[in-house]
Structure 1
Amino acid sequence: MGQSVVAVDIGNSFIKAAVLTDVLTPLDLHDTPVVTFKSEDIGNAQWLDFLGSCPVETQWFLASVNQSCLDCVVQWLDSQTTPIKRTILNHQHLPLDFSAVDVDQVGVDRLLSALGAMGARENPFPVVVVDIGTAVTIDAVTAEGAFLGGVIMPGIYLSSIALANYTDRLPEVEVNISDLQGLPQAIGTCTQDAIKGGLVWGLIGAIEAVVKQQQKILGPGAHLIVDGADSDLVSNLPFDVSTMDHLCLRGIIHVAQNVLD
């Protein structure tokens, strides 16, 4: 039997987890269910059902940008009758070059997403990694595996909340960026449509502008890899784009494979 692993990506809003019964086999997340939790789900029936498929000797690999949520997961792990092996990842676990950045001040999720994108390449080439979540990150990685840094900006959800909270009459507008089912009009005929168009087209424009600047450094051969966006949004970016889900989880699994191989 192969080495089983639970990979856990603890973000600002959600926990994503995947169980791999043999982490050393070639990775295909399409065949591996990824389950999403909130912090209040830790230890509940859904959480326990998900973990019921884990062999006894399963090792956990965790990465987090949410310390309080990580503490809850660790507390649950420590409360189990059978000790559970765990590794909380940081930059020292990653086979990337961080000499260009102050790596202690860079979120491990960005580093792991970069590794997840790099690990999927058949041939070495520079990449721009875009991860669209609560925050949007756009990071540059050279063909040699040097993480150069990037930008962080509010995601659509945060921008919508800011408009609602810091104006008198603008409503909060919900936009599901992973399932847009067509892009909003750039000329909205009511306030809600105008906000929705501004949020979506503003994000597209911001990504385009940043990627163009990063490509000046990486070179025109830099490839764009996007996680978390609907295909309609991606198709409006004027670049050669690949979409790839769960980049951070892919990076965690890549580290687990290196550790256990």
Structure 2
Amino acid sequence: MLLAADVGNTNVVFALFEGRDIKARWRIATDARRTGDEYAVWLLQLIALEGYAREDITGIIIGSVVPRSVHNLTVLAQKYFGIEPIIAGQSGAEWGFELDIEQPSSLGADRALNALAAHAKYTGDLIVVDFGTATTFDAVDFNGAYKGGIIAPGINLSLDALVGNTAKLPRIAIEKPATDSVIGRNTEDQMLIGVFWGYVSLIEGLVDRMKREIGRPARVVATGGLALLFDEHTDLFDAVDSDLTLDGLAILAERAIS
């Protein structure tokens, strides 16, 4: 079985794969200071609770946008599983598709993994929208080449900035407003309208501009924690694929091992 670790700026997601099928997944807050021993105490118990043993794991792959975390996860793999991990994008696990951008080395592992998995799972030109700490929009052409994209503040970052830099605005939950009206009658409603419908408008507007620039029909694939919420209130997405980044890790591991 393959253990995949997707290290984002907010969370680390571990998934246990049998082939391309995810058998279990676990999430922990990202902390670059967390040691391999600390990961092991938490992860080995969860693996056992799912009915698996550490000996069942024969491969480990790490995809990370937090460079400091890679060392500690490598220690976890070597010390507790006796496995030399595959590091996504590095020697033996290169992306395997064209990065048609000015600074290929600056592309985050999560975005490259999304591009890899999206091209493997869907046809034609693609726009991948990933709702993470930042919201990213990535263009992948019909040959699988990565053509570039957009980085926008994630909705939680936007809300944090709004609340953190004002004296009287309260913290609110991110959810659809109670009505479709965009004229709020109190402070909380006005904030929610601005955050929620403002973000829907941002997504729809940027994807429309990307489609016009691509100049060919493009399917829109959404992933990330808030993809399902926004999918309920816009007809923008052709597919919602919550496991896209993890699937990219599994595909890359298959290529590296074979």
**TM-score class normalised by the smaller sequence:** 0.7 to 0.9
Query: What is the TM-score normalised by the length of structure 1?
Result: 0.84
- After TM superposition, the structure 1 stretch with the greater mean CA deviation from structure 2, 99-108 or 67-76, is 67-76
Alignment of 1:1-261 (within 5 A): 4-21=1-18, 23=19, 27-29=20-22, 32-39=23-30, 42-43=38-39, 45-52=41-48, 53=52, 54-55=54-55, 58-80=58-80, 83-90=82-89, 93-121=94-122, 124-175=123-174, 186-228=182-224, 229-231=226-228, 233-239=230-236, 241-261=238-258
Q: Alpha-carbon deviation of 1:182? A: 7.4
Q: Give me the CA root mean square deviation.
A: 2.5
CA distance in 2, matches of 1:159, 1:114: 25
User: Moved runs in structure 1, 4+ residues, more than 6 A?
Assistant: 181-184
Q: Secondary structure at the match of 2:150?
A: strand
Q: Which amino acid aligns with 1:103?
A: P
Change (3 A) 1:120 1:200: same
Change (3 A) 1:39 1:78: farther
Q: Alpha-carbon deviation of 1:153? A: 1.0
Check whether the contact 2:130–2:227 (CA below 8 A) recurs between aligned residues. no
Q: Which amino acid aligns with 1:13?
A: T
CA distance in 2, matches of 1:192, 1:16: 32
CA distance in 2, matches of 1:13, 1:55: 29
- Unaligned 5+ segments in structure 2 are none
Q: Which amino acid aligns with 2:75?
A: Q
Q: Secondary structure at the match of 2:169?
A: coil
Q: Alpha-carbon deviation of 1:257? A: 1.5
CA distance in 2, matches of 1:79, 1:193: 52
Q: Alpha-carbon deviation of 1:45? A: 4.8
- Unaligned 5+ segments in structure 1 are none
Q: Alpha-carbon deviation of 1:78? A: 4.2
CA distance in 2, matches of 1:188, 1:181: 10
CA distance in 1, matches of 2:21, 2:177: 26
Identity %, equivalent residues: 25
| Residue correspondences, number | 246
Q: Which amino acid aligns with 2:209?
A: Q
CA distance in 2, matches of 1:183, 1:10: 37
Change (3 A) 1:28 1:259: same
Q: Alpha-carbon deviation of 1:147? A: 0.5
Q: Alpha-carbon deviation of 1:239? A: 3.4
Q: Alpha-carbon deviation of 1:156? A: 1.3
Query: What is the TM-score normalised by the length of structure 2?
Result: 0.85
Q: Alpha-carbon deviation of 1:48? A: 1.6
- After TM superposition, the structure 1 stretch with the greater mean CA deviation from structure 2, 50-59 or 150-159, is 50-59
CA distance in 1, matches of 2:248, 2:178: 30
